[in-house]
């Protein structure tokens, strides 16, 4: 579409997403980014060599479409002549004497650098912490930022948004100052020496057979959330991966689900064998006309987690548990059934442990036959739990060398 005032007024961020990026059909590289909360920014996108650049022009509606288009045309004309407007902008920022830089200045510079190397979901959190959580500290000159200032603000962040969020804000500010020191923009890192607001213990909740049976029985009714929970238990995949499952990713004849790299947390494509139970659940789902996504409404996948989880808990009498516990239960259960560690890691698309480092780079084996066998054994194990019968599943026998 051409980004006119009328066209822009009709743009809406799809459900389940935090932003929408739309480019103009008439002028390549001219676009508008809408973010949750109502902010909208004009930008240009271009390449310098192999590097892609994005540069903001102004905010909408303060800058109307036609002035934004004119500014974009002028900047893109410079690009065609070999100039790098965004690079010049960054150089101008770095040219500011260190003694005049504020914490907000180095946060913005760090975000410019982080945008190019962080995944969009990670960058979204980084930007949120540095742009919102540390607002009272942003006007403080870098050379005057001291440990006591950071510690005091951490306590305020914990009061406003909780101790875990304060820990994340602390980690992001520390990373920002460490980067700034390496760039010669900050003499020290004032975050070093501050205490974490709370010690976070790794979650290790694994659901027992009675809990698995209770959850399965409580999700018998139709509905996206109930189906998703059963698939989470059967496949061990991440909740957002299942919630945004697409029919085009599924090959039900081969009982396979293919997740492209754009949909996985680690950016690696992933094949998920489907057990006969999982295949039967998916096959029974209705297909909605002109909609590739299996779950959810509108443009996005399923997103009503909190409300649905709360209603489920009201029907259960279980100790506190999280949806991610289903994935941990899947992994732990496979180990207990003697599935080899590298196969378990392949099943949940992990690159730690057996698949980390050089081994992870060069070992591209998908272990599909092993994954299929383990998937079938796990489905039989779950079926025996649901039926409340003795577990007759025979664990995979490992060789003495394993």
Concatenated DSSP letters for 69-97? HHHHHHHHHHHHTT--HHHHHHHHHHTS-
3-class SS of residue 212: helix
**Average pLDDT, rounded, for the chain:** 86
> What pLDDT is attached to residue 198?
79
> What pLDDT is attached to residue 360?
43
User: Average pLDDT of 220-239?
Assistant: 94
Write the CB contacts of 43 (distance below 8 Å, at least 6 apart in sequence).
Answer: 30, 31, 32, 33, 54, 55, 56, 57
> What pLDDT is attached to residue 391?
60
Predicted confidence band of residue 107 (pLDDT cuts 50, 70, 90): very high
> What pLDDT is attached to residue 390?
61
User: Average pLDDT of 363-383?
Assistant: 86
User: Average pLDDT of 244-261?
Assistant: 93
pLDDT of residue 95 exceeding 60, the answer is no
Lowest mean pLDDT among 37-41, 302-306, 366-370, 380-384: 37-41
User: ∠ at Cα 20 (125, 241), nearest 5°?
Assistant: 65
Lowest mean pLDDT among 172-181, 267-276, 353-362: 353-362
pLDDT one-digit tens code per residue, 25-48:
999 999 998 887 677 899 999 987
pLDDT of residue 363 exceeding 70, the answer is no
Could you tell me what percent of the chain has a pLDDT over 90?
Answer: 55
3-class SS of residue 256: strand
> What pLDDT is attached to residue 102?
93
> What pLDDT is attached to residue 82?
85
3-class SS of residue 360: helix
Strand order in the sheet with 256-259: 250-251, 256-259, 270-273
User: Average pLDDT of 245-259?
Assistant: 94
| Encoded tokens for 241 | 């991966």
Write the CB contacts of 161 (distance below 8 Å, at least 6 apart in sequence).
Answer: 133
> What pLDDT is attached to residue 359?
40
- Greater model confidence, 123 or 217: 217
CA atoms of 73 and 27, how far apart (whole Å): 8
């Amino acid at each position: 579409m051409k980004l006119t005032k009328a066209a822009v007024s009709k743009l809406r961020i799809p459900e389940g997403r935090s932003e929408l990026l739309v480019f103009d059909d008439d002028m390549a590289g001219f676009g508008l980014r809408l973010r949750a909360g109502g902010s909208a920014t004009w930008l240009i996108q271009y390449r310098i060599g192999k590097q892609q650049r994005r540069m903001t022009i102004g905010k909408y509606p303060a800058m109307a479409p036609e002035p934004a288009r004119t500014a974009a045309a002028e900047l893109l004309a410079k690009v065609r002549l070999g100039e790098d407007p965004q690079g010049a902008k960054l150089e101008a920022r770095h040219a500011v004497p260190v003694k005049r830089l504020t914490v907000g200045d180095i946060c913005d510079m760090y975000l410019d650098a982080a945008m190019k190397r962080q995944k969009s979901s990670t960058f979204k959190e980084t930007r949120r912490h540095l742009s919102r959580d540390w607002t009272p500290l942003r006007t403080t000159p870098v050379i005057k930022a001291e440990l006591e200032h950071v510690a005091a603000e951490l306590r305020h962040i914990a009061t406003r948004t909780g101790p875990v969020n304060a820990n994340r804000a602390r980690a992001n500010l520390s990373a920002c100052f460490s980067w700034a020191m390496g760039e010669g923009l900050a003499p020290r890192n004032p975050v070093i020496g501050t205490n974490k607001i709370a010690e976070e213990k790794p979650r290790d909740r694994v659901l027992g057979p009675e809990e698995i049976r209770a959850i399965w029985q409580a999700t018998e009714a139709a509905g996206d959330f109930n189906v998703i929970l059963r698939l989470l238990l059967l496949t061990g995949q991440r909740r957002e991966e299942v919630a945004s499952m697409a029919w085009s990713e599924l090959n039900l004849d081969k009982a396979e689900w293919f997740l492209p790299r754009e949909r996985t947390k680690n950016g690696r494509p992933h094949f998920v064998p489907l057990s006969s139970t999982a295949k039967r659940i998916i096959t029974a789902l209705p297909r909605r006309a002109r909609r590739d996504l299996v779950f959810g409404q509108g443009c996005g996948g399923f997103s009503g987690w909190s409300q649905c989880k709360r209603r489920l808990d009201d029907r259960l009498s279980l100790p506190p548990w999280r949806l991610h516990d289903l994935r941990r239960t899947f992994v732990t259960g496979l180990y207990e059934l003697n599935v080899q560690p590298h196969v378990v890691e392949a099943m949940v698309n992990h690159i730690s442990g057996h698949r980390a480092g050089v081994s992870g780079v060069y070992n591209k084996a998908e272990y599909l036959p092993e994954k299929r066998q383990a998937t079938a054994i796990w489905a039989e194990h779950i079926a025996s739990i649901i039926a409340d019968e003795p577990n007759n599943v025979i664990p995979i026998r490992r060789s003495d060398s394993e």
